[in-house]
Amino acid sequence: MKTTAKILFLLLLVGSIATGCKKLLDVEFDADFKATMDVDVPATSLKADTYPFSDTYTIDPATNSDYHKYADKIVDVNLTGISGTITSVNPTGVHLLAGTVVEVSKAGFATVAIFTTQSIPIAVGTTVTYNDTDGSFDALDAIFKDQNPITITYSGATDQPGVTFTYELVFATTVTANPL
């Protein structure tokens, strides 16, 4: 009986050490996923209060070299932040109106993350930081962990027609992979 207890204890000990050692081999790295939105608000001779736009971009997680290297060994993805920066605009002096939306979706996922902005000037260098006010980052963790392309839709309105600008969205993540 004492021998059986010792063997069971040793098996339990070896099993827990092996599991712990495997976790020690985890590799963590930062992976930024970018969506460059080239927005064109059409010129019009009609007077209006708002001039709508919409642009769509597809992010393929496999285009990140580290993510691609560990793709079949990814254990977890943690979204650490989302920001958007205006990188070009023509003409200047235009405002992005409140209610402009960044929508993140993916085929096969019921959850869609939606982030809205307040009215801001469209000027080179203007940056918007999107906060996780409703738990959307958790849903996005699962979306980024899945290795299929992600659709980003950027839509809203400006206060002037005939505007072109580039909006670069960055989804910052920390990825955990285990090479075993």
**Tens digits of residue pLDDT in 12-39:** 544 544 454 556 689 999 999 999 999 9
Q: Is the peptide bond before 121 cis (omega within 30 degrees of 0)?
A: no
- Would 12 be classed as within a structural domain? no
Q: How sure is the predictor about 162, in pLDDT bands with cuts at 50, 70 and 90? A: very high
**Considering the domain boundaries, does residue 16 fall inside one?**
no
- Cα 80 to Cα 18, 47, 98, 130, distances in angstroms: 30, 42, 25, 11
Considering only CA atoms, which of 92, 86, 107 is closest in space to residue 167? 86
Does residue 173 lie in a domain region? yes
The percentage of residues in the chain with a pLDDT greater than 70, rounded to a whole number, is 86
Residue 169 domain boundaries: 26-177
What the block records as the tokens of 95 is: 């405002």
Does the pLDDT at position 6 exceed 90? no
What total number of domains does the chain contain?
1
pTM of this prediction? 0.83
Q: Is residue 14 part of a domain?
A: no
β-sheet bridge partners, residue 130: 82
